[in-house]
Chains A and B, each alone.
Chain A
Amino acid sequence: MSTAENADAVAVTEGLFRLLPAPPGELPGIVLIGGWSPTSQRHHFPLASRCPYSGAADVEEVELPTTGRLLLWTAVESAPPGYHGPVPYGFGVVALDDIDLQVVTRLTEADPARLHEDDAVSLVADPLHTDEEGTSVLAWAFAPR
């Protein structure tokens, strides 16, 4: 689904985010797909069939806010097993604006010294690597604004 509009880019896995059309040569826009449980009154990410806080089976698929504030951050200096993207890469926790949800996320900034608590950040598509067919494999990341 997320690949339909961007034949030259594919999500690292389906169901985490939706890619939005972009002019040729530019990275697509992106929005994370999460869940909302009316019973537990809580958001979660990634979307799960049941609310991870309460087990309620009433989860509704929702698009999550694309901006937030930086809570914690580091950089991974060498590639962990199973990872074929660039190193170092930023890694952190972002509190999304407007809702009570913090997400573990990649960060576009890989120098921890350039980041600060409560920095305003925005969601972007983040190329990991190019697969055997020459298609760009995308994850999500937050970038300082």
Chain B
Amino acid sequence: MTGTVHDGAGVQIEGIGLHPFGRHPQRTLADLGAAAVSEALRDAGIDGRSVTATFCASAYGGVASGHRVLGQLGLTGGPIIDVEAGCASGAAALALAATAIRSGEHDRVLVVGVDKMPRGMIRSSYFPPWREAAGLAAAPPYFALRAQRLLFDTGLTKADLAAVVVKNRAYGVHNHAAMRREAVTAEAVLDSRLVCEPLHLWMLCAPNDGAAAVVLQRSRPSARRVVRLAAVALRSHRPGDVLDESTPLAGLDDGPIDGSPSATTAAARDAYEQAGVGPENLDVVECQDTDAARELLAYEELGLCEPTEQGRLLAERAAHPTGSLPVNTSGGLLSKGEPLGASALGQVVELVLQLRGDAGARQVPGASIALAQTVGRGANASVTILRTDSLPSSGSGAAATALGTAP
């Protein structure tokens, strides 16, 4: 079992909604989720009572998060399934929702992701208490070790990590839903507080509060540009592995590079196969920039570059607004912050805006195929592919020739 959803051609995204990511101490989890759901229903132009099932992603929301969200809107009564899969929670909920439609049981379902995270390093019931007491549970040092490995393998430096932050924060300036909306310089990034060598504070995303929602529907004719869910793939860590996923499974590690694919790489392969496209067909990507090095690792794991070739993409400024494949146009988690349950769906919201041509100052001209990726504790990895075109799902060749051109 790989957790894949085969042939997502029959599922389209009818509506999107977002509660800005940030620190919202006066708002409850239900407030945040209800705001995103309301916006998604409004965007879809539908009555919430026409939704027959809801999947709610939350990692820290506690018992029955989805019920609290829908309870505030008077929309309970149907099945509400709460989903937790770390940073991939939203994608896991999306995968279940797509399956619910493809099975024929539901025509229209709601997917919502929501979290309210404590400030600072994330605590997790994933770990036994002794690991916290010994100082071996916090995520940033694991990220730092993976970053160090990346720097060893690629010859990149801390300045290259800073360049990723500069890029994403520059995108974030144009996203009203981002928590940090000021551009930064590489010097300022490197001057921010050292958390764990080589990672400085601004190279790490901030856990925060937020919500995102999506209305999924069985494909049907539409007056406007339709965004289809072409693939959702989920994977978990290799048995015994820890370091690739920054997760101490059992305090052991079978080597960061043993030839078998990481969870993200495996999920990407599944997703490309489902969607009938390859990395060369992508127009825009949202990836898990939990830290700056993690974005560079995603380039490799998603097949955007050959292993250890990240330096070439950086030199070409490929992921920048005028580059060949813009990455994290939303500003990424480095700008938005990360409410775990909402982050994967937040990526989907950004990509739907891009595919509709509604992304404003951060629009990638003519974007028609988009990919979102998350990876986090568990380990959980997800890759989602969206596309908008009238081509059959086997039309990747035609899509490739359309890459970068206006619709």
Contact = CB atoms under 8 A, between A and B. Distances in A.
A46 B142 CA distance: 18
A44 B240 CA distance: 8
A93 B145 contact: yes
Contacts, number: 121
A103 interface: yes
A137 B133 contact: yes
A62 interface: no
Given A75-B196, A128-B133, A139-B134, A102 B145 contact: no
B1 interface: no
A16 interface: yes
Given A52-B240, A77-B196, A91 B134 contact: no
A54 to B, nearest CB: 7
Contacts of B128: 13
Given A54-B239, A76-B196, A93-B243, A48 B134 contact: no
A144 interface: no
B358 interface: no
Interface residues of B, number: 40
B135 A74 contact: no
Given A80-B138, A82-B137, A83-B133, A52 B249 contact: yes
A93 B148 CA distance: 11
Given A74-B141, A93-B145, A103-B252, A83 B135 contact: yes
A45 B251 contact: yes
A53 B239 contact: yes
A128 B148 contact: no
A26 interface: no
The 8 closest A-B pairs by CB, nearest first: A82-B132, A80-B138, A13-B130, A74-B144, A53-B240, A72-B145, A139-B134, A102-B253
24 contacts: A44-B240, A46-B251, A52-B239, A74-B145, A74-B198, A74-B199, A75-B196, A77-B194, A80-B121, A80-B132, A80-B135, A81-B120, A81-B121, A81-B123, A81-B132, A82-B129, A82-B132, A82-B137, A91-B135, A91-B141, A102-B252, A103-B252, A112-B197, A137-B133
Interface of A: 12-13, 16, 42, 44-46, 48, 52-54, 72-85, 89, 91-93, 100-106, 112, 117, 128, 137, 139
